[in-house]
């Protein structure tokens, strides 16, 4: 394993921050060494300075893609944070449908964005939740867009195929039998669920105008790696991508307190979520 010096750690931290906004502190030598040493060795680099120079001077962006894949952690699972999915099922989705019916809103589009979706468990859990919550779902035009910066996450999410361990994390046996098909020792998400989700590669730190507006945006467990300034900018851009009174969801350990005044905090039982106010 190639050892990183304090100066090299600073250089690599700067590079990683520019690539994906992840903040690597001065105590994180182990992170660089454990995640990037194999890649640096594969490229025949003797030090991280050499690796840094190679990444800086590359033309095709291949090293950049691989560094992002190694650094951004893709930890996820189906129905991560049960309280959130219960709030969607019993409060947020029914309220949205009731509001449109009561106010005779003719618009039958429901647009959802799972930003930083990792390997796809989040958007597929959302698709299952909508399907099971709206009885006449066929009469609604539901579109779930899912995105991630990582090539590997994008590939796996769009394939929709999961190991036994992955499906055992969060799915009930009934959901597994209903929405997945066994295939070569793994489980393939069924076409009906797959067709409800489209996938894109999006770096949340780059401008994402032109992707449309959404009724719900899920940006969970990604901004924890960003600094305050990056979070302020990101949550502001995401507010611009929400429809009026759109809903915004963070991970259970995250908060918008002192970061943005554009959202109002709401709760349903122990689930906290946000509504756009300006
Ligand atoms: C911990 S996973 C969260 C997955 C899912 N949202 C959840 O809560 O289970 C974080 C994801 O954020 C992605 N990510 C990190 N930096 C990103 C960036 N700048 N733009 C978009 N995605 C990013 C990573 O590739 C990773 O898949």
Read off the pLDDT of each residue in 259-266 and give the average, rounded to a whole number. 96
Residue range 253-278: average pLDDT? 94
Ligand 1 atom nearest to 251, measured from its CA: 8
Within the chain, which residue ranges are assigned CATH 3.40.50.150?
82-276
Give bridge partners of residue 144 from the DSSP assignment: 112, 197
Ligand 1 center from residue 248 Cα (angstroms):
16
Site of tokens 């995640």: 35
Q: Is the CB of 231 under 6 A from ligand 1?
A: no
Residue 119 CB coordination number (10 Å): 24
pLDDT value for 60: 86
CATH of 6-71, one of 1.10.155, 3.30.930, 1.10.20, 1.10.1060: 1.10.155
Please tell me the distance from the alpha carbon of residue 134 to that of residue 256, in angstroms, as a whole number: 29
Give 59-72 as a DSSP string. SS-HHHHHHHHHHS
Q: How far is the centre of ligand 1, averaged over its atoms, from the C-alpha of 102 (Å)?
A: 37
Q: Which one is the CATH code of 82-276: 3.40.309.10, 1.10.645.10, 3.30.70.1380, 3.40.50.150?
A: 3.40.50.150
How far does residue 229's CA lie from ligand 1's centre (Å)? 18
| Residue 81 CB–ligand 1 contact under 6 Å | no
Residue 69 has pLDDT above 90, yes or no: no
User: Could you tell me if 128 and 193 are in contact, meaning their C-beta atoms sit under 8 angstroms apart?
Assistant: yes
DSSP assignment of 180-217: EEEETTEEEEPHHHHTTEEEEE--TTS--TTS--EEEE
pTM over 0.85: yes
Does residue 30 carry a pLDDT above 90? yes
Please, what is the end-to-end C-alpha distance for the chain in angstroms? Answer: 50
Output the CA 232–ligand 1 centroid distance in Å. Answer: 17
The model's pLDDT over 139-188, given as tens digits with 9 standing for 90+, comes to 999 999 999 999 999 999 999 999 999 999 999 999 999 999 999 999 99
What confidence score (pLDDT) does residue 259 get?
95
Phi and psi of 209, rounded to 5°? -70, 155
Binding site membership of 203 for ligand 1 (Cβ less than 6 Å) = yes
pLDDT of residue 146: 98
Q: What is the crossing angle of helices 62-71 and 29-42, to 10°? A: 140
Whole-number pLDDT of residue 84: 97
Cα 149 from Cα 129, distance rounded (Å): 25
Please say if the pLDDT value at position 28 is more than 90.
yes
User: To which H or E segment does residue 36 belong?
Assistant: helix 29-42
Over residues 212-218, the mean pLDDT reads 97
Q: Best substitution site from 67, 118, 170, 235 to test ligand 1's pocket, by max atoms within 8 Å of Cβ? A: 118
The dihedral over CA atoms of 223, 124, 98, 245, expressed in degrees to the nearest 10, equals: 20
Instruction: Write out the H or E segment, with its range, that includes residue 97.
Output: helix 93-102
Note the pLDDT of residue 219: 98
Which atom in ligand 1 lies closest to the alpha carbon of residue 150? 25
* Ligand 1 site-directed mutation target among 72, 208, 226, most atoms within 8 Å of CB: 72
CA 156–ligand 1 middle distance (angstroms): 13
Q: Is the pLDDT reported for residue 73 higher than 90? A: no
State pLDDT tens for residues 52-67: 999 999 988 899 989 9
Determine contact, residues 133/89, Cβ cutoff 8 Å: yes
Sign of the alpha-carbon torsion through 219, 225, 226, 227 = positive
83-140 pLDDT tens trace: 999 999 999 999 999 999 888 878 899 999 999 999 999 999 999 999 999 999 999 9
Over residues 189-196, mean pLDDT = 97
Mutate to test the pocket of ligand 1, among 155, 166, 222, 237 (most ligand atoms within 8 A of CB): 222
| Closest ligand 1 atom to 80 CA | 9
Give the chain's mean pLDDT.
Answer: 95
- Check the CA dihedral 193-266-169-217 and report its sign: positive
Write down the pLDDT at residue 210: 86
Question: Among all chains, which residue has been given the structure tokens 């997945």?
Answer: 180
Residue range(s) occupied by CATH 1.10.155 in the chain: 6-71
| 217-235 average pLDDT score | 94
């Amino acid at each position: 394993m190639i050892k990183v010096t304090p100066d090299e750690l600073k250089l690599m931290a700067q590079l990683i921050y520019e690539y994906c906004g992840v903040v690597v502190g001065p105590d994180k030598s182990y992170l660089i060494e454990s995640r990037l040493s194999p890649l640096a060795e594969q490229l025949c680099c003797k030090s991280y300075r050499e690796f840094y120079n190679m990444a800086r001077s590359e033309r095709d962006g291949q090293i950049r893609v691989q560094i992002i894949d190694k650094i951004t952690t893709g930890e996820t699972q189906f129905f991560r944070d049960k309280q959130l999915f219960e709030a969607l099922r019993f409060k947020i989705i029914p309220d949205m449908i009731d509001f449109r019916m009561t106010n005779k809103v003719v618009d039958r589009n429901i647009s959802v964005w799972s930003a930083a979706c990792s390997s796809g468990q989040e958007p597929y859990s959302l698709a299952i939740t909508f399907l099971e919550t709206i009885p006449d779902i066929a009469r609604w035009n539901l579109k779930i867009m899912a995105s991630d910066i990582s090539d590997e996450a994008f590939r796996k999410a769009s394939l929709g195929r999961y190991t036994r361990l992955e499906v055992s994390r969060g799915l009930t046996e009934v959901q597994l039998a209903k929405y997945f098909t066994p295939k070569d020792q793994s489980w393939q998400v069924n076409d009906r669920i797959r067709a409800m989700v489209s996938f894109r590669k999006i770096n949340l730190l780059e401008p994402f105008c032109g992707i449309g507006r959404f009724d719900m945006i899920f940006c969970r467990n990604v901004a924890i790696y960003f600094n305050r300034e990056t979070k302020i900018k990101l949550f502001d851009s995401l507010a611009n991508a929400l429809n009026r009174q759109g809903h915004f969801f963070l991970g259970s350990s995250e908060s918008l307190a002192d970061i943005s005044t554009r959202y109002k905090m709401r709760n349903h039982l122990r689930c906290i979520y946000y509504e756009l106010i300006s």
